[in-house]
Copies of this chain bind each other. A is one copy, B any other.
Amino acid sequence: MDPNLRTLTVCAVPGVPLVAPGDDLGALLVAALDAAGVALRDGDVAVVAQKIVSKAQGRYAYLDEHPPSPRARALAEATGKDPRLVEIILSESSEVVAHGPNLIVAEHRSGHVMANAGVDRSNIRSDAGRERVLLLPEAPDAACESLRRVFERRFGVRVATVVSDSVGRPWRTGTVGLALGCAGLPALEDLRGRPDLHGRPLEVSLTALADSLAAAAGLVMGEGDEGLPFAVVRGARWQGPPAPARALLRDRELDLFRR
């Protein structure tokens, strides 16, 4: 559209291969950008799906290696889930926030609250007949910072990075993209103190920039067999210093939806 209008472009980058533990993810993503003819520019945001970050980190867990504890058995009984899977979910969690039929909502050790503490059974090949699941990445903000440096070195510009996941939400059906980690941008943009249209300070003026970018990227990354775990957002604007996705976690004491 008109280049004079405020425009954001979200572009899926094809060519990312299946990722295996120990792979140099930064190098794979740079290779995909090169093959697609996309040179990152100043202000671009590279959005990377959680799955490939976790796979590169080798964050697999094997069901047969996690004999369920009594607590896992009780929660499996209450939810109808596989007790071994529940054991893995509990080992990844700092708190079970709620549970119901076939659903456990838990706070992952990173602080993100989501179904099954982010433990994922989809897109996971069984390994020599052994069932395995994929866990959330370790230290997603640090993983973003590491990727950000790879991109900056390669392209010589200032870029930002987001590691995204698709999550469900209370009260609403369907998943949206969410930022597990970010670097080079303020995860939470603070517009407090800026006047509204009528010169009155904005009441609600913290925007979840990183989550919005993850949701936008989700529109081109897709799920399932499309296999596009990498996108570039061009034209996003923000103000304020970088802050990690950890800044998006609401204080437990201020949260009405924690016990």
A residues touching B (Cβ–Cβ < 8 Å)?
A: 1-2, 5-14, 18, 36-38, 97-100, 103, 105, 107, 112-113, 115, 121-125, 166, 168-178, 187-189, 191, 194-198, 200, 202-209, 211-213, 215-216, 218-220, 223-225, 227-228, 232, 234-236, 247-250, 254-258
| Interchain CB contact (< 8 A) of A170 among B1, B6, B256 | B256
* Chain B residue at minimal CB-CB distance from A252: B171
Looking at the assembled complex, report how far the CB atom of A151 sits from the nearest CB atom of chain B, in whole angstroms: 15
Looking at the assembled complex, report how far the CB atom of A200 sits from the nearest CB atom of chain B, in whole angstroms: 7
Looking at the assembled complex, report how far the CB atom of A177 sits from the nearest CB atom of chain B, in whole angstroms: 7
Q: Evaluate contact between B211 and A223: CB separation under 8 angstroms.
A: no
| Interchain CB contact (< 8 A) of A123 among B100, B169, B196 | B196
Instruction: Knowing that A6-B220, A172-B178, A175-B204 touch, tell me 17 more A-B residue pairs with CB under 8 angstroms.
Output: A5-B14, A7-B12, A7-B220, A8-B10, A103-B256, A113-B172, A122-B202, A123-B197, A170-B257, A171-B250, A173-B250, A175-B208, A194-B223, A195-B224, A205-B224, A209-B219, A212-B219
